[in-house]
Amino acid sequence: MFFMAKLTDIVKNLKGNYSSDLLVNSVDLMNNLTTIDTDTSKGLADYLALTGDKSEGQSPDDIRLRKDDFLKGLGKDIGDLVMRNPNEVSKDLGKKRAKAIGFEYAPQGDFKVNDEYDLTRKVISESVKIIKAIKQNPDDYFKKTIEHLDPLLQEYLVKNKDAYLQNHYQTAEESRSDAIEDFGEEKFVAQTMKTLGTLREKSNAEMKLIQEEMVKARKEARKAKKNYEPLTPEENVRVNEGFIGRLNKIQEQYKDVKLYNPLINSVMEHAYSERKSKKDESAQKS
């Protein structure tokens, strides 16, 4: 196995500025490390060459654990690099990949970023709902869209149901494509990364405050008891109830936050694939 760079060199670079080559080399290195079998002599040699971590004095389990920790740390650092550089990494996606990612991760929450972005994500979200509804249950979608009509008139439309559904599907496809193309596919992904990152920070901050209040309330409840006795399950429930409701409300308010980590992983994987293929093509031509 041939390694382009050692783990320590890559990790140092990951703390700095983004570049397409850094992303490709980092993911290549992670993939190489993943495939190493440290239960073989060749695998141990490759592991040493890549990490500089000597196996003397370590058990096989120690080596496996260290390899797993290196992979987790490397994956986190690559993810952090992507998070810190939404504009740069989104440009590495290409328009086709960026469009697909934009469709999948457009946030739907009731919040404001700016008029242009908010309109674009709204059009995409509404179009995606229509497309999914027609794919998953076309009969149910059709019924809901004509249920306001007199049953006699509905009979006329039923005969042409397939064409009706095709028109709705095609219109939704065109609407979301036009919206993201007008905004800019790569620009939309970058803004979505920034938006979801900001929402995550706000959600975490608000939930932390509530959790701190809950801990304080538990302490006060125990303080009120003789000799700081532990709370009974019933007392614990009474203390927690109000706070749990507030935490659930925060989770509902910021429900789009759950898209953030999958979005980052998707951007990382697709940017890597796009740049890797171009790098390989360039190498073949030369």
**How many Cα atoms occupy the beta-carbon half-sphere of 85 within 13 Å?**
22
In a domain, 250, yes or no: no
Number of domains composing the chain: 2
In a domain, 53, yes or no: yes
pLDDT in the model for residue 1: 41
pLDDT in the model for residue 2: 42
In a domain, 142, yes or no: yes
Residues 6 or more apart whose CB falls under 8 angstroms from that of 115 comprise: none
pLDDT in the model for residue 5: 56
In this prediction, the residues of the chain whose per-residue pLDDT falls under 50 are 1-4
Quick: pLDDT tens for 236-245: 899 898 899 9
Residue 140: domain span: 105-186
Final residue of a structural domain among 149, 171, 186: 186
Nearest by Cα to 260 from 194, 207, 167 = 194
Predicted TM-score of the model (pTM): 0.87
Distances (CA, A) of 149 to 142, 144, 166, 171, 210: 12, 10, 20, 22, 49
Q: How far apart are CA 127 and CA 108, in angstroms?
A: 12
